[in-house]
Amino acid sequence: MNDGSARLYTSSEMSRADGNAQELGIPGGVLMERAGAGMAREILARFGGERPNVLVLAGGGNNGGDGFVIARELHRAGHEVRVAATKRDLSGDPKVNLDAVLNLGVPVHDPESLKELLEGTDLIVDALLGTGFSGEVREREAALIRTLNDAGAATVSVDIPSGVDGSTGEVHGEAVRADLTLCAHAVKVGCAVSPGKDHAGEVVTVGIGLPEEAERDIEPALVLTDARSLRGSIPRLSGESHKYSAGAVLVLAGSRTVTGASVLSVEGAQRAGCGIVFLAVPESVAPALDLRLTEALIYGLPEDGEGHPAPEALEVVLEKAGRASAVVAGPGIGIGDAQRRLLEGLLRLVELPVLLDADALTNLAGTDAVARRSAPTVLTPHAGELGRLLGVGAGEVTAHRLRSATEAAERNGCTVLLKGGDTLVAQGGRPTSVNTSGTVALATAGTGDVLSGVIGALLSRGMDPYEAARAGAWAHGRAAGLWLDATGWPAESLIATDLLDWLPRAIGELL
Ligand SMILES: NC(=O)C1=CN([C@@H]2O[C@H](COP(=O)(O)OP(=O)(O)OC[C@H]3O[C@@H](n4cnc5c(N)ncnc54)[C@H](O)[C@@H]3O)[C@@H](O)[C@H]2O)[C@@H](O)CC1
Ligand SMILES: [K+]
């Protein structure tokens, strides 16, 4: 299903589009010419004024072919251009374009001299490996990538930073660190999903004149989450709305020692536009939170002597859930058997959409409580929490973000939002969505609690869980972006509470 979101391309989708174009009578050489010429124009527009000395590192495939076209065009524009080619014995379009470079007298060197060549280089064009690469980089290419990265010159990657898997963003071994990546036709998945995203620098697409007919039968596996694709997806209040029909969220957050998480989750939900929020917290902290949260209804949960929920807490939670249209559970509840039993009861007995975050995820790791539900469940883990759900380490999730998020969504039959600079939303049967509004400013305590409330509110307003997770992630990141723009303060200074002031405007951009 494509709902108008900007699509991302995997390597196999790109080669299908390429094959379709050829069937339509558009030869591959034409696409290569347009890609290389368009990329050269972009390079000239950005760097041409400084008249840089350019080195093009070209591999033996079509990515290298694009590189030869770029070399030819930059030479034609009067720049000092040298090429290092890993292979001379080429065929097809790459050969045609290498021959043109040689005929024009552009020096073509063996890559063994790359280090010396780089000494007089201001600008590197990395056309070593493109979407035809996957797996681990062979040692010869890995050494070239290390040399490029050590050179410290401005680097433009062709289509994908060499060494990044174009379909997943995974990096096994070496990968080029680019300042700018120019993608032919559409952004490749590897430029949008970390760690590939962190290698790509700025990402710009270059049109290659692919007709719509060439991609009509290709269902995207991944899409970008941007404002355009979300606009109109959040239900509005109507004349007959009252506070319950506007969305009622039950938040189960906070504990005797952690109360800030409940405040942030409740206020995130309120700012995301639900009609009413009920907060269930251990009874010893209920009075303090009642004073702090003017508009929310606070309910004390029976607790044991250590501040853990007593078995009767489930009855209170179920009763309050009876008046809600969505539940948010987890921030700051702490880890323990009492919390796990409470969550298992909630998931078994409540038919509402439930969002599970933070400690709820850790408490439920290794259980089948989510998989057994038929009502919608949204999980919002960071890499460590997702690792616990999957029974692997955080490092394993960080290295395989896409695979980890989709696997967890499939195993549990739910929606998984994996937090990060490239927040991913995975759900079976829907294209995995990559958020575009993230900023490093969000890397601070409590922002996740705000997000849980925002998505909970969108669920309570009747949004489908996949759309609620996408819209929540986008608005949350956008709120941070608006704060940065408005204050001009350093990203490091944002505190989670700052997001609350900007969420309404961020959400307003989606209406
Ligand atoms: N529609 C399309 O598909 C278009 C593709 N174009 C370009 O073509 C590229 C894809 O070209 P190809 O499919 O020929 O593939 P690539 O050029 O990306 O990769 C093939 C080369 O990589 C080497 N290689 C593969 N695995 C390796 C490994 N593990 N370690 C070291 N080297 C390895 C191969 O020996 C071969 O030389 C795109 O990234 C893009 O730059 C553009 O020309 C425009 C149109
Ligand atoms: K490349």
Q: Closest ligand to 130 CA?
A: 1
Ligand-binding annotation for 133, yes or no, is yes
Atom of ligand 1 minimally distant from the CA of 66? 43
pLDDT band (50, 70, 90) for residue 230: very high
Question: Exposed, middle or buried, 135 (CB in 10 Å: 0-12/13-18/19+)?
Answer: exposed
Counting ligand 1 atoms within 8 A of each CB, the residue from 13, 33, 39, 131 with the most, and so the one to mutate, is 131
Name which residue sits closest to atom 42 of ligand 1, judged by CA: 32
Ligand 1 atom at minimal distance to the Cα of residue 132: 15
Q: Which ligand is nearest to the CA of 65?
A: 1
Q: How far apart are the first and last CA of the chain?
A: 22
Tell me where in the chain the CATH 3.40.50.10260 domain(s) lie. 7-220
Q: Which of 39, 62, 141, 188 to mutate for ligand 1's pocket (most ligand atoms within 8 Å of CB)?
A: 62
What whole-number percentage of the chain has pLDDT above 90? 93
| Gap between the Cα atoms of 8 and 88, Å rounded | 32
Average pLDDT on 265-293 reads: 97
| 134-152 pLDDT tens trace | 989 999 999 999 999 999 9
Q: What is the pLDDT of residues 187-222, one digit of tens each?
A: 999 999 999 999 999 999 999 999 999 998 999 999
- The pLDDT of 18-46, averaged and rounded, is 97
Atom of ligand 1 nearest to the CA of 127: 41
Which residue has a Cα nearest atom 44 of ligand 1? 32
Q: How far is the centre of ligand 1, averaged over its atoms, from the C-alpha of 429 (Å)? A: 29
Can you read off the two tokens belonging to residue 405? 């998020």
**What's the 372 CA to ligand 2 centre distance in angstroms?**
44
Question: What's the count of helices (H) and strands (E) in the chain, helices before strands?
Answer: 20, 18
**Span from the CA of 425 to the centroid of ligand 2 (angstroms):** 27
Q: How confident is the model at residue 240 (pLDDT cuts 50, 70, 90)?
A: confident
What is the tens place of the pLDDT at every residue in 389-424?
Answer: 999 999 999 999 999 999 999 999 999 999 999 999
Q: Does residue 1 register a pLDDT over 50?
A: no
Which pLDDT belongs to residue 238? 79
What's the rounded mean pLDDT across residues 233-249?
Answer: 84
Q: State yes or no: 312 annotated in a binding site.
A: no
Q: Which CATH number fits domain 7-220: 3.10.20.30, 3.40.50.10260, 3.40.640.10, 2.60.120.620?
A: 3.40.50.10260
For a pocket test of ligand 1, which of 24, 63, 165, 167 has the largest count of ligand atoms closer than 8 A to its C-beta? 63
Q: What are the DSSP E strand ranges found in 201-309?
A: 202-206, 222-225, 248-252, 276-282, 297-301
Cα dist. 175→66, 211, 418, 453 in Å? 19, 32, 23, 38
Q: CATH 3.40.1190.20 in the chain: give the residue spans.
A: 241-508
Q: Is 63 annotated as a binding residue?
A: yes
Q: How do residues 429-485 score in pLDDT, each as one tens digit?
A: 999 999 999 999 999 999 999 999 999 999 999 999 999 999 999 999 999 999 999
Q: Which ligand is nearest to the Cα of residue 156, counting in written order?
A: 2
Residue whose Cα lies nearest atom 40 of ligand 1: it is: 63
- Sequence-separated (6 or more) residues with CB below 8 Å from residue 383: 394, 397, 398, 401, 404, 418, 419, 420
Is the pLDDT confidence value at 156 over 70? yes
The CA angle 243-246-247, to the nearest 5 degrees, is: 100
Atom of ligand 1 nearest to the CA of 135: 29
Nearest 5°: the CA angle 218, 220, 226 is 135
Q: Which atom of ligand 1 is nearest to the CA of 18?
A: 1
| pLDDT confidence band for 243 (50 / 70 / 90) | confident
Tens digits of residue pLDDT in 290-315: 999 999 999 999 999 988 999 999 99
- The reply, when asked if residue 62 is annotated as ligand binding, is yes
- Asked if residue 326 has pLDDT above 80, the reply is yes
pLDDT band at 157 (very low <50, low <70, confident <90, very high): very high
Question: Which pLDDT band, with edges at 50, 70 and 90, does 245 fall under?
Answer: confident
Residues 234, 271: Cα–Cα separation, whole Å: 14
Distance (Å, rounded) from C-alpha 474 to C-alpha 507? 9
Is 66 annotated as contributing to ligand binding?
Answer: yes
Ranges of beta strands (E only) in 142-262 are 154-158, 180-184, 202-206, 222-225, 248-252
- 70-83 pLDDT, tens per residue? 999 999 999 999 99
Work out which ligand 1 atom sits closest to the CA atom of 60.
Answer: 37
What is the percentage of the chain residues whose pLDDT exceeds 70?
99
- Compute, in angstroms, the gap from residue 403 CA to the centroid of ligand 1: 23
User: Confidence class of residue 3 from pLDDT cuts 50, 70 and 90?
Assistant: very low
Ligand 1 site residues, Cβ closer than 6 angstroms: 14-15, 17-18, 31-32, 35, 59-66, 129-133, 135-138, 141, 158-159, 184, 208
Let me know: does 180 contact 202? Beta carbons within 8 Å. Answer: yes
What's the CA-to-centroid distance between 233 and ligand 1, angstroms?
A: 38
What is the arithmetic mean of pLDDT over 103-125? 96
pLDDT band at 241 (very low <50, low <70, confident <90, very high): confident
* Residue 109 predicted with pLDDT over 60: yes
Q: Is 422 annotated as a binding residue?
A: yes
- Please tell me the predicted confidence (pLDDT) of residue 5: 58
Across all residues in the chain, what is the average pLDDT?
96
What is the complex's ipTM, to 2 decimals? 0.98
Average pLDDT value for residue range 254-262:
94
Question: What are 109's strand-pairing partners?
Answer: 84
Model pLDDT, residue 2: 39
Cis geometry, peptide bond prior to residue 490 (ω within 30 degrees of 0)? no
pLDDT at 201: 97
Q: In this structure, which CATH number among 2.60.120.10, 3.40.1190.20, 3.40.1650.10, 3.40.50.2300 belongs to the domain 241-508?
A: 3.40.1190.20
This prediction's pTM: 0.96
